[in-house]
Amino acid sequence: MSTTIIVLLILLGLFLLILEFFALPGVTFAGIGGALFIGVGIFMAYKNFGSIGGNITLISTVLLSVFLVVYSLRSGTWKKLMLDSAVEGQVEVKEESAIRTGDEGVAITRLNPVGKAIVNGTTIEAHCPGNFVDANTKLEVTKVFKTYIIVKPKK
């Protein structure tokens, strides 16, 4: 009876550790419980069967754990768990000639410090580092990138 309980405790502990490792993110009760079940199983083996039986149980548990890790790495388990898809989206790129440094525009939304502005009839994301600019404030373009511009309030 005690041998069955020891084996079941160790197998349950290994199952919980595998569940923790593959299915549950972070340190959860499954991982802590799995480690406790394995520890209690090994402790019971030492208590019931002495040092020889406990050492055999400890070594077999370590070997079984190593085998399970090696098997999971070689069997492609990691590939089954990982998402293997590519992002096929695009970023809207404004024409490079539409907005130039020094152009003037108006803030559509509050630049806090990022918002929307209209420059030369084009609505674009505007960044105003270090300043908070209210809507309908006149702006001056200081730098142009493909998807956004850097502006400052016009004085």
What is the CATH classification number for the domain harbouring 129?
A: 2.40.50.140
pLDDT of 32 = 92
With respect to residue 146, please indicate whether it lies within any of the assigned structural domains. yes
Q: Say if residue 117 is in the same domain as residue 77.
A: no
With respect to residue 86, please indicate whether it lies within any of the assigned structural domains. no
Tell the residue number behind the tokens 């493909």, with chain if given: 146
Structural domain of residue 65, as residue ranges?
A: 2-81
Q: Say if residue 14 is in the same domain as residue 49.
A: yes
Higher-scoring residue by pLDDT: 62, 90: 62
Q: Say if residue 15 is in the same domain as residue 55.
A: yes
With respect to residue 95, please indicate whether it lies within any of the assigned structural domains. no
pLDDT of 91 = 66
Q: Say if residue 74 is in the same domain as residue 7.
A: yes
With respect to residue 13, please indicate whether it lies within any of the assigned structural domains. yes
Residue 101 has pLDDT above 80, yes or no: yes
* Domain final residue pick, 47, 81, 115: 81
Residue 98 has pLDDT above 80, yes or no: no
Provide the domain count of the chain.
Answer: 2
The dihedral through the CA atoms of 119, 124, 129, 133 has a sign that is positive
74-90 mean pLDDT: 71
For residue 152, give the amino acid letter.
K
Tell the residue number behind the tokens 């918002």, with chain if given: 115
The dihedral through the CA atoms of 138, 144, 148, 150 has a sign that is negative
- The 10s digit of each residue's pLDDT in 110-129 is 999 899 999 988 899 999 99
- The 10s digit of each residue's pLDDT in 16-45 is 888 887 777 777 888 899 999 999 999 999
The residues facing 119 across adjacent strands are: 105, 122
Distances (CA, A) of 57 to 4, 9, 13, 39: 13, 12, 14, 11
Q: Say if residue 51 is in the same domain as residue 119.
A: no
Q: Say if residue 69 is in the same domain as residue 25.
A: yes
Q: Say if residue 16 is in the same domain as residue 71.
A: yes
| Mean of the per-residue pLDDT values of the chain | 86
Question: How far is 95 from 82, CA to CA, in rounded Å?
Answer: 38
Q: Say if residue 76 is in the same domain as residue 17.
A: yes
